[in-house]
């Protein structure tokens, strides 16, 4: 396997410098700049608009494996980020020691979460997929529904999906009608707890 390409997403220049130092110290890592393709994205937990940035980068680079460095790494937080598309989570106090191993795990398609968290995620995700098959939603409606769960606005959803805000409103209306819901708030309140995510 060749060099593992890594890109850092952080708001503060000192955080970028610290992550970059750890990455460039590894002979099999290659730090890549803006616009280049990369395998692993290292996201700082203090990043402005972290969830929106993660979603945008996952759409732009579908093969990217994101890793979050954060202060909170309990099981609930790990599960929350796993459902939002993160492939791993490191604590700030351990990133210098564990970042290289975590990046290598992600680069070969593995997760960097406790096994019990991945097991719980697999159980809930299987239940979610099975229940989603019961609803007659189109693939685009399912896509829009994911953004509803993540509490993105119609404008944000439209921008990320590359469609008009009016089209997003149309899909939201169809979703609510098909699921017999009156509002997006009702959808979030009733759907997410049934999946065991709260």
Domains (range + CATH), the chain: 4-114 (3.40.50.2300), 135-194 (1.10.10.10)
**Using CA atoms, how far apart are residues 128 and 194, in angstroms rounded to an integer?**
9
Q: How confident is the model at residue 159 (pLDDT cuts 50, 70, 90)?
A: confident
CB 67 within 8 A of CB 91: no
> Is pLDDT of 193 > 50?
no
> Is pLDDT of 121 > 80?
no
The residue among 112 and 2 whose pLDDT is bigger is: 112
User: What distance separates the 2 farthest-apart alpha carbons in the chain?
Assistant: 56
How is residue 17 written in tokens? Answer: 């410098």
Predicted structure pTM score: 0.66
Closest CA to 119 of 148, 79, 92: 79
Q: How many CB atoms are closer than 10 A to CB 88?
A: 24
Which tens digit of pLDDT belongs to each residue from 39-77?
999 999 998 888 888 888 888 888 899 999 999 888 888
């Amino acid at each position: 396997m060749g060099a593992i390409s890594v890109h850092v997403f952080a708001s503060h220049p000192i955080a970028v410098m610290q992550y970059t130092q750890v990455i460039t110290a590894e002979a099999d890592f290659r730090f890549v700049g803006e616009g280049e393709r990369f395998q692993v994205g290292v996201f700082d937990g203090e990043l402005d608009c972290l969830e929106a940035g993660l979603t945008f980068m996952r759409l732009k680079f579908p093969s990217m494996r994101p890793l979050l460095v954060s202060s909170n790494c309990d099981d609930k937080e790990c599960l929350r980020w796993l459902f939002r598309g993160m492939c791993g989570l490191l604590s700030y106090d351990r990133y210098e020691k564990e970042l290289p191993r975590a990046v290598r795990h992600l680069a070969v398609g593995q997760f960097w979460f406790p096994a019990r968290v991945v097991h719980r995620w697999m159980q809930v995700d299987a239940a979610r997929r099975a229940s989603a098959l019961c609803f007659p939603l189109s693939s685009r409606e399912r896509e829009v529904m994911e953004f509803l769960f993540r509490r993105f606005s119609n404008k944000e959803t439209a921008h990320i999906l590359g469609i008009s805000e009016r089209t997003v409103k149309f899909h939201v209306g169809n979703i609510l009608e098909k699921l017999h819901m009156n509002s997006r708030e009702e959808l979030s309140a009733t759907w997410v707890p049934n999946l065991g995510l709260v």
